[in-house]
Amino acid sequence: MGMAISFDPKGKPVEVEITPKNHYSPAVLTLRSEGQSVQLHLSDDVIADVAYAVNSHLDNIKYPQPVTPAAKEEIA
């Protein structure tokens, strides 16, 4: 089963919340912005994978990997 959802806050602040799992449901990751919200019911392993992907993206923005001289020669 596949599903695609688009969440576009149009530059508005986004509130992020994680409700811990309980006996009846897995953890819930909620993204909310001015009348819109998306709730993702995820296992802790999937939340860890999402966190890793987000942190890797942020690390690449803050600390981009320099291109070594050898790599520059291969590109040219």
pLDDT in tens, 13-65: 999 999 999 999 999 999 999 988 999 999 999 999 999 999 998 888 877 66
Average pLDDT, integer, range 4-14? 87
In a domain, residue 7? The reply is: no
- Structural domain range at position 21: 15-75
pLDDT at 59: 85
In a domain, residue 51? The reply is: yes
The predicted model scores a pTM of 0.71
In a domain, residue 43? The reply is: yes
pLDDT at 25: 94
Number of domains the chain is built from: 1
| Close Cβ partners of 14 (under 8 Å, ≥ 6 residues apart) | 31, 32, 33
Q: Which helix (H) or strand (E) holds 69?
A: helix 69-75
